[in-house]
Structure 1
Amino acid sequence: MPSSVPDEPARAPAANVLRLTFAVVALVSLVIGYIGLAQYVSRNPEFHGRPLDLLYYDLQLFVLGTPPLDEGSGRIPLLLDIARFTAPAVTVYAFIEAGRLLFAAELRRLRIRQARDHVIVCGDGMVADILTRRLRATGDRVVQVPSGSVVTGRDPFGLAGEAGDPEVLHAAGISRARALYACTDDSATNTAIALAAARRGRHRPLAVYAQVSDPELCLALQARHLGLAEPSGTRLDFFNIDDLAARKLLNEAPLVPTHGGPPRVVVLGATTFGRAVLVELARRWRVRDPQPRSPVPIALVDADATGAATELSHRYPFLSRVCRIVPFDGGLAELLADPVFPLPPDRVFICDDDEERALKTALTAEQLWHGGPGSVVVRLDRLASLRAAFDSRPGDHQVLDDLSGTLRLYGVANAACDPELIGDDLVERLARVIHESYVLSRRRHGEDPARNPALVGWEDLPETLRQANRSQAEDIGRKLRELGCALSPRVGSGAEYALAESEIEQLAVLEHQRWLKERSAAGWRYAEQRDDARRLHPALRTWEDLHEEMRERNHDAMRELPAILAEAGFRIVRVRAA
């Protein structure tokens, strides 16, 4: 059962003070009641005065009666007189508080059942907590479902249950939710939650995101969802926090040329984050310099740097065109002792999963400190709070030297838990690459942007055309299935299937048919001259009646498909005869 509800206010401090007050009153009542009863019983010998008997009589004061007072006689001592009123008052307060909590729990459940367009976050670890705070800060209504069968948070009366249990998802309002984030500490659990949510949320638009710690498994799950013959109706994606953090890092601090050429980069640790950083910086540099005159020199330092470099170059073919990866099998000592890679570097990324060792390397390797402000990035997670000690921004209380701004402690969970960044899913990224490929192709053919409003950057593209690119990305799986092919992550030594010209023709026909159906449904009509404002387009004809130049555009787009998929780490494989 959800542990918190949309827009639940923080508990008022006055309530805590009141509880503490009544706890003190209960303790005082017990003490003075015991003393008063001892005095009273000494005057009424028919009652036993042993300590256990007195304690028993004392406890009965809290239930509105005790035998000595009911059956005894004589003057009641002052302390006992006070206790016989304060003790029942504590009992009454306890009943009221219990009723209030029960009513509040039912009220919270009612609010959840009535919630609309809210967000569900499954998990109670670091990622889930940060994401919940970020969502609430942007005004989203959030229901948080705890991991496993342990209910935590402000709802102690929630029903225990697995987050992937359909009944728990139903109680969280999955049928009316806008989005769900599965971010427990277990990837298998997250996958199960995401799949259960995707099945439950089919009757209305729902975005489902599942955290997967293994990047290869993440790619494989993305491939299987993208490879569907028909869109599922649910926006489903799998994300890896190291990959997201690397993207955000290079977006905030992109590589810039130094000394008239590409910067020298050192990546210490071929960890998940280290590999993601290497791929992302290469991807960004390729966009910055589409025809690189000289590759970016990157020193990759790891116990198996050579194997990691070979694997990454196989998975992302553009790496060998954009970068010159120099592997150093070992540690920092091997890099410093080898003159092959010139030092000092311009950018350093310390990506060791051992956070203490990573921090120690950053603070002791003075040979890496010459790249300028923010040039030495240290990946942290558990120790990310240390960042405040090195922070040199105005108004902050700095207690440790950050080497004149050179050192940057980078918390991956804090960086990755950005709803907008997570929402930039695989379909969105592929749609962007499809558009960039289209723009480059049309410009190579000398097409004028003044005549084609689609020849602009993704940020300047109208939303209708962005959606058209998303629809094309979503349809990749269906078209490949028609050929007897499928998507596969570029993992291992498997061979990529090379599309024949006849298959490119078939894909081009399928893509044009999809595009024609989509545009016709949106009210577009055929005309010799394109007019986006009036929804007129010269390509709104059957494939047989299409001009040869228009057909060739579709051929070019399908020829670029393997490269577009390789950009995201996928390849086309044959699974059956066409």
Structure 2
Amino acid sequence: MPNRSITSREAESALRPWHRYRGMLSRRFLTFLIALALALVVVTGTGFYVGHVKEYNAAWDNGDWGTLASLTSAMVYEIGQVFTLEMEDHLIDSDNSEKASDTPIKRKASPWYAVARFLAVVFVGILALKAILLLLRTVRRDAMRTSRRGHNVVCGIGRIGTAVIEEIRLDVLTWGDVFAQWWNPWRIGTGILTKLFGWIRSKIKRETPKDVVAIDSDVKRWNQRRVEDRDAIVLHADATDIRSLYRARVHKAARLFAVTGSDEANIEIVTDTYRLIEIEKRKLPKPLECYAHVSDPGLEQVLRSHLPSEEQSQLRTHTFNVFQIASRRLLIDHLLKHRPRGEEVALYIVIGFGQMGQTLVRYLSEQAHFENRKRARFLILTGESENSSATAAEVADAFLSRWGQFSPRAVADSWADIRRHFKSACDSWDCQDDRLDPHYRTGNPDAVEYAANAVFARLPKYPADLRFLHHLDKILSDPTVRPALMVCFDDDDRNFATAGELRLKLATFANVDAERLPIFASLPRQQALADFLDDIKQDVIPFGRCEDVATLDEITNSITERLALHIRANYKRERLRSREEEDAYRQKFFQDTADFRHSNLMAAEHAMVKLACLGYGWRRPGESLDGLPVVRTLEEPDRVLLAQMEHNRWLAERLLAGWRYGKGKDSQPRRISFCTWDKLSDQAQEQKKDLRQVDLVFDVLQSELFEMTIVKLNRAEDVSKQQTIDRAPIDAEQPSVTASG
């Protein structure tokens, strides 16, 4: 193995031998052990005092402090002897001190000593049993770790890592479950047989691996107990050290989850895993699936550019972003019900522009494209009151320097100036009244130059400032605006308090109810606050909870990825007709650049939005249709509408990727199709691509590959009962046949 310098954290761990055993002794067990030891001390001391009460009284009456000290020393010695299981009868003087001989005589032990001896045996027995169990557990886990193959490796036992481990081991019968009723031999026997047959079945059917090895250098005691209760092996080590990955046998694993709290650490884990596989020169039965949490899009591109293609490596890398997953859940679960209709335009008010706020704005600008076929508006409130020295203008410049074609630069000097920046004409895609920086402009009047209309404004010192709410009420009074407000600070407590105060003040002083302006609060860490909002049914909706976004379905993104494979094949004029063809085509998918993969995945995620805009939903295999009519084909007006929505989504997504209007080859990010749908009439081929994609998605979802049934809902707004494509489970054992259509 290659050498590497020892980190300070590893050195600290080496100096503390108890480091790897912390968490193994529960607080309840330690409390019981201490209570038992105190009881043993009290009983033994009481017995000694009762046996020597005359000596104590005589010494006290005579003021013989030397004798009292000797007796106290003897009591301490006696207590120590009991802890070492010294069982000899105690030698004392005769009861009549005046006639006592120089030779001590044996006296029968008192009941206090009998109780003390019993407690000592119990104390030492429990302590020895616990030590043996800890030793056997360590030996067993080391043996299991070294013999692991086809397991899961989770680097980082924080909120995401713990949720992933618990879901992987959700339906697994642990040894703790087997011996939970240790007095019931029937329960123990059936449990052992169940685990044995489950292991045999997993080997025969080659099911998704359930064994987990977790790596973390500074895991919290509570998280460690949670994962160890699920029989996961925990290594106290630095996951960025290639030697730790080797100890976890990552080169023999089936899946790797890099979910530490640092993007840089997760990227280092991926690169070290690639190096380890290359060093071992081991031919894996199939590529190692690696899922890395990377929230910075720039770092994701760096990772993609430095890793070899899947054809050259046995590592298949997937990146995910919990902030983007939270944005997708917010759009699908809530914002679809509040989407604009007819001539309305969406207005998303974002308070707080940290990592969550920026990801949300970027995702909605790519995906929030509805049947109104207009650009979305964004009011971004940020600045000095957000615990940052940057002003709203500086925040706008920083964001637009990275996403230059997101929106023209518009910074409101005051809250009264916000309305002036939002122009109805600019909601249309073909409007060029507001222009971008000269470096991003095109010379063609028909070209689409930017994705959304955004205004940056100063955040009030107190978010529920009545002066600010007065101007906000004027913005909301526009009947053509369909607003939604999201509070996205980095602090959950602040999000909770701000959202609650805004809801109360808006309802009291501006008469703005939840139907007119839904308010959402980002609460990724404080599960208790999110549950509290759910319980009291307050008009503030939490989103981004780790338990909702850090699920295996969301992280692996399996169903969306499958649909993206079909979209990519359709673009190449190919057709996937079975699950085997999907698996074979996956290699071509991962040979594409990250830019093209992202485009196909975004198109697949937008399928739910398209269906919801038509008032459609779907039912999975076995679900009741509830008497809803089944939709087999799309009517031509609906087909054209969805194609127009797809074209607008593609425009926004490509603009944010840096593409512009102009003639160019595949190697150049320019296309003459960067214009509105009605101006594509001279490019019939481009319109056919969008129509063909709409037909493909509609047909493949109902094919026997996915086995979904598309139904017409009673109300177009009723999308809350639907689930995203990601969450729709597909049975891997279902027969694979040709897709319809």
TM-score by length of 2: 0.52
Residue of structure 2 equivalent to 1:416: 549
Return the match for 1:255 from 319, 326, 336: 336
SS across alignment from 2:150: coil
Q: Determine whether 1:179 maps to 2:255.
A: yes
Q: CA deviation at 1:101?
A: 1.9
Q: Gapped runs of 5+ residues in structure 2?
A: 1-9, 11-22, 57-66, 92-103, 173-208, 384-391, 408-428, 430-435, 437-447, 597-652, 669-684, 691-741
Q: Determine whether 1:325 maps to 2:406.
A: no
Q: CA deviation at 1:151?
A: 8.3
After TM superposition, the structure 1 = structure 2 runs for residues 307-456 of structure 1, keeping only pairs within 5 Å, are 307=397, 310-311=400-401, 313-314=403-404, 323-331=451-459, 337=471, 343=478, 345-365=482-502, 366=506, 369-370=512-513, 372=515, 375-391=518-534, 398=535, 400-403=536-539, 407-424=540-557, 435-436=566-567, 439=570
Residues 119 and 141 in structure 1, CA contact (< 8 A), matched pair in contact too: yes
Residues 375 and 451 in structure 2, CA contact (< 8 A), matched pair in contact too: yes
Cα separation, 2, equivalents of 1:466 and 1:342: 50
Residues 569 and 575 in structure 2, CA contact (< 8 A), matched pair in contact too: no
Residue of structure 2 equivalent to 1:485: none
Residues 301 and 594 in structure 2, CA contact (< 8 A), matched pair in contact too: no
Specify the code of the residue in structure 2 equivalent to 1:314.
G
In structure 2, relative to structure 1, the CA distance for the partners of 1:159 and 1:236 (3 Å cut) is: closer
Cα separation, 2, equivalents of 1:215 and 1:382: 22
Q: Gapped runs of 5+ residues in structure 1?
A: 2-9, 392-397, 443-451, 455-460, 481-488, 505-551, 558-578
Q: CA deviation at 1:252?
A: 3.0
Q: Determine whether 1:29 maps to 2:29.
A: no
Q: CA deviation at 1:298?
A: 3.1
Q: Determine whether 1:472 maps to 2:588.
A: yes
Q: CA deviation at 1:234?
A: 0.9
Residues 44 and 72 in structure 1, CA contact (< 8 A), matched pair in contact too: no
Q: CA deviation at 1:408?
A: 0.8
Cα separation, 1, equivalents of 2:589 and 2:72: 81
In structure 2, relative to structure 1, the CA distance for the partners of 1:321 and 1:57 (3 Å cut) is: same
TM-score by length of 1: 0.64
Cα separation, 1, equivalents of 2:579 and 2:314: 19
After TM superposition, the structure 1 = structure 2 runs for residues 128-139 of structure 1, keeping only pairs within 5 Å, are 128-137=161-170, 139=172
SS across alignment from 1:294: coil
In structure 2, relative to structure 1, the CA distance for the partners of 1:43 and 1:84 (3 Å cut) is: farther
Cα separation, 1, equivalents of 2:584 and 2:470: 51
Residues 29 and 86 in structure 1, CA contact (< 8 A), matched pair in contact too: yes
Cα separation, 2, equivalents of 1:321 and 1:38: 93
Q: Determine whether 1:62 maps to 2:83.
A: yes
Residues 190 and 210 in structure 1, CA contact (< 8 A), matched pair in contact too: yes
Cα separation, 1, equivalents of 2:489 and 2:666: 48
Cα separation, 2, equivalents of 1:473 and 1:44: 91
Residue of structure 1 equivalent to 2:618: none
Total equivalences in the alignment: 460
Residue of structure 2 equivalent to 1:522: none
Q: CA deviation at 1:441?
A: 8.5
In structure 2, relative to structure 1, the CA distance for the partners of 1:211 and 1:374 (3 Å cut) is: farther
Residues 121 and 182 in structure 1, CA contact (< 8 A), matched pair in contact too: yes
Cα separation, 1, equivalents of 2:220 and 2:495: 35
Range that drifts further, 274-283 or 362-371: 362-371
Cα separation, 1, equivalents of 2:162 and 2:318: 20
Residues 271 and 353 in structure 1, CA contact (< 8 A), matched pair in contact too: yes
Q: CA deviation at 1:181?
A: 1.3
In structure 2, relative to structure 1, the CA distance for the partners of 1:251 and 1:137 (3 Å cut) is: farther
Q: CA deviation at 1:109?
A: 2.6
Measured against aligned partners, the alpha-carbon deviations of 1:389-408 in whole angstroms (never above 9, x if no partner) come to 222xxxxxx3x4513xxx21
Q: CA RMSD in A?
A: 4.9
SS across alignment from 1:50: helix
Specify the code of the residue in structure 2 equivalent to 1:30.
V
After TM superposition, the structure 1 = structure 2 runs for residues 549-568 of structure 1, keeping only pairs within 5 Å, are none
Q: CA deviation at 1:351?
A: 1.8
Residues 271 and 352 in structure 1, CA contact (< 8 A), matched pair in contact too: yes
Cα separation, 2, equivalents of 1:25 and 1:502: 76
Residues 274 and 351 in structure 1, CA contact (< 8 A), matched pair in contact too: yes
Measured against aligned partners, the alpha-carbon deviations of 1:237-291 in whole angstroms (never above 9, x if no partner) come to 33322122212322334536534145422231333222322332333344x56xx
Cα separation, 2, equivalents of 1:81 and 1:285: 78
Range that drifts further, 43-52 or 165-174: 43-52
Cα separation, 1, equivalents of 2:654 and 2:666: 25
Q: Determine whether 1:295 maps to 2:375.
A: yes
Q: CA deviation at 1:79?
A: 1.5
SS across alignment from 1:300: strand
In structure 2, relative to structure 1, the CA distance for the partners of 1:159 and 1:49 (3 Å cut) is: farther
Cα separation, 2, equivalents of 1:272 and 1:43: 76
Cα separation, 2, equivalents of 1:59 and 1:354: 53
Specify the code of the residue in structure 1 equivalent to 2:160.
V
Specify the code of the residue in structure 2 equivalent to 1:267.
I
Residue of structure 2 equivalent to 1:274: 357
Residues 285 and 322 in structure 1, CA contact (< 8 A), matched pair in contact too: no
Residue of structure 2 equivalent to 1:109: 142
Residues 450 and 655 in structure 2, CA contact (< 8 A), matched pair in contact too: no
SS across alignment from 2:237: coil
